A and B are shown apart, each in its own frame.
Chain A
Amino acid sequence: MAPQAPAARQAPPAGPVPAPSSWSFAVREFRYWTTNYRRTWRGSIYSSVLSPVLYLAAIGVGLGTLVNKHGSARLGHISYLAFLAPGLLAAAAMETGIGESTYPVLGSVKWRRTYYAAAASPLRPADVFHGHLLFTTMRLVMNCAVFLAVMAAFGAVKSAWVIAAFPVAVLTGLAFAAPIEAWAIMVTKDTSFAMIFRFGLIPLFLFSGTFFPVSQLPGWAQPIAYGTPLWHGVALCRSLSLGTATIGETLLHVGYLAALAAAGIAIGNRTYRRRLYV
């Protein structure tokens, strides 16, 4: 009945203890997220399979049959399915990236307050941020892998280079996730996210070359589309999937996306500190 109280550690650690690396701290937060994910992974796998199946079937195959009949010259003489699938891969990565970087962040700081639990441990705010980004990367890797498998099953893969589209799609997701996480940590109301979805995610999804070439847009709108991160992801995934990518083009797109992700990380290192260390 009288449980033993745990004793205090009396002797302080002898000498200076080498601080664990930032990487190992980030992994500790990453493992928190994987533990949390264990409750929901089944459902999330279902939807990550179902979503590409539905899109590729309805639009790639269904609508694609109509498109192919009217000639696919503007698509570069390939089937609409082969055109659409790599674009959707990048778009799906964007969606995963945004999904992981909005409500989960606000929830951790406002509702469940679990970020504060991590901040009270040896982890620093930047470690908490990086740990979450690692988890986001894992989710991107999972979803993009599932997407590629579905794509292959639909016969939408035209070149072995599609393997290279895999990391590009993951990078596309991170180019969204890093800056949005850096911003989401400062957000106080979840209504801000509705703006991101309405004025960010949906227009990008529809007009960044996923469903039709940007060259089909009115002239004034084309430069805007070329400036969006999603277009860079879509364009590179597509040319890799079709086996037409050039080195220069690849470097340009990867550079753009990597710069965005890096900027997001740099900003997030500050915003996480500002929010968690009041």
Chain B
Amino acid sequence: MPDPEVLIRAKDLTKRFGDFTAVDGIDFELRRGEAFGFLGPNGAGKSSTMRMIGCVSPRSGGELSILGMDPVADGPAIRARLGVVPQEDTLDVELTVRENLLIYGRYFGLPRNVISERTDQLLEFVQLTDRGADQVEPLSGGLKRRLTIARSLINEPEILLLDEPTTGLDPQARHVVWDRLFRLKQRGVTLVLTTHYMDEAEQLCDRLVVMDGGRIAAAGSPRELIEQYSTAEVLELRFDPGEHEQAAEKLADLRAQRTEVLADRILLYIPNGDIALTAVRDLGLVPLTSLVRRSTLEDVFLRLTGRQLED
């Protein structure tokens, strides 16, 4: 008897486009009520995975079960219980905000009065109430994104799929979206989201997988990942470009757990940043700037892949 609390189960899930393997045999399970993230850089295979979960992209191999059903055989029944926020908006920009919710509600076979009632609630939820009669076209990216989120909730989905919900938004607009997603999570909506923002993953996800090149590089809660793959603190140092190399060599003497020499700065992974900074000065090095901070998922990603997540 499969666990009814597991909403999505993927085993060796694979997606190929011709000879190219976009998703290369990934395993994961999603449980009811959790917020689950796919963190990875461009081309990692996040959207390909989301589209397979959304039952709009047949898998090339492996197993995938969603709400106990097979996406190939039971697509309509599964999609009836999903909410989807695609990476690129698919709003009808010629229609008004309310009309967009009306047509989407109809796709789910909802009666008009139910759609209208939910539209009122959802527009209030995403703070678009006063824009209901406006055409979508001139709305800002942030407002469109909020409308897409409202639209995805019209069928009261059990699972909400969000593909890069805040990419391209300014910081303030991102925070509004995060706040709304956080509230949804509090209300028990199961969230699956992709992102290449480590702060987004840290704030919203109970559990996440780090994806790179179609594979899962690591999985766990943000805290577990940081504990497992990084140190408590990081010391960031910037030197004059001319002294960068030389400084890196000298810093080897500090025996930090790990040293990353990036193009513009050097990262020292150590348990205590302030002690390390004193030690750096004792070596006679004078950094232009120095910063002690706690480890983030960015550091986890760097450790796992040798590359930076955000450029």
A associates with B: yes
Residues of A within 8 A of B (CB): 3-10, 12-13, 17, 19-20, 24-25, 28-29, 31-32, 35-36, 39, 112-114, 116-124, 276-278
Which residues 1-52 in B have Cβ within 8 Å of A in the complex? 17, 51
| B153 proximal to A (CB < 8 A) | yes
Instruction: Quote the shortest CB–CB distance from A197 to chain B (angstroms).
Output: 24
* Chain A CB within 8 A of B88 CB: yes
Please determine whether A24 and B109 come into contact, CB atoms closer than 8 angstroms. yes
Is B76 touching A7 in the complex (CB atoms < 8 A)?
A: no
Q: In the complex, are the beta carbons of B51 and A8 less than 8 A apart?
A: no
Q: Which residue of B lies closest to A13 (CB)?
A: B81
The listed residue (B58, B84, B103, B184) touching A120 by CB distance below 8 A is B84
B97 at the interface (CB under 8 A from A): no
Our count of residue pairs bridging A and B at CB distance below 8 angstroms stands at 123
Bound-complex Cα distance A200 to B190 (A): 52
Closest chain B CB from A158 CB (angstroms) = 43
Q: Is the CB of A276 within 8 A of B56?
A: yes
Count of residues in B whose CB is under 8 Å from the partner chain: 51
| B122 lies within 8 A of chain A by Cβ | yes
Is the CB–CB distance between B189 and A120 below 8 Å?
Answer: no
Inter-chain contact B86/A35, CB cutoff 8 Å: no
Say how far A129's CB is from chain B's closest CB, in angstroms.
15
Q: How far is the CA of A121 from the CA of B157 in the complex (A)?
A: 11
Docked-complex contact B156 and A5, CB < 8 angstroms: no
Give Cα A24–Cα B76 distance, bound, in whole angstroms: 13
18 intermolecular pairs with C-beta atoms under 8 Å apart: A4-B124, A6-B184, A7-B188, A9-B157, A12-B67, A19-B77, A28-B107, A32-B107, A36-B92, A114-B90, A120-B79, A121-B108, A122-B77, A122-B107, A124-B75, A277-B57, A277-B58, A278-B17
Write out the residue numbers on chain A whose beta carbons fall within 8 Å of the beta carbon of B106.
28, 31-32
**B89 / chain A contacts, CB cutoff of 8 Å:** 113
User: Which A residue sits closest to B126, measured CB to CB?
Assistant: A3
Q: Produce 1/0 per residue, B132-166, CB < 8 A to A.
A: 00000000000000000000010111100000000
Chain B residues 198-251 with CB under 8 Å of chain A are: none
Counting chain B CB atoms within 10 Å of each CB, the highest count among A19, A114, A122 belongs to A122
Whether the Cβ atoms of A114 and B79 lie closer than 8 Å is: no
List, in ascending order, chain A residues with CB within 8 A of B153's CB: 6
Q: In the assembly, what is the distance between CA of A121 and CA of B79, in Å?
A: 6
Q: How many angstroms between the C-alpha atoms of A277 and B59 in the bound complex?
A: 10
Q: Are A117 and B184 in contact (CB under 8 A)?
A: no
Is the Cβ of B77 less than 8 Å from the Cβ of A119? no
On whether the beta carbons of A8 and B77 are closer than 8 Å, the reply is no
Among candidates B17, B77, B94, B102, residue contacting A39 with C-beta atoms closer than 8 Å: B94
Would you list which residues of chain B between 84 and 114 have a CB under 8 Å from chain A?
Answer: 84, 86, 88-95, 99, 102-104, 106-109
A10 pairs with B81, CB closer than 8 A: no
* Closest Cβ neighbor of B48 among chain A residues: A278
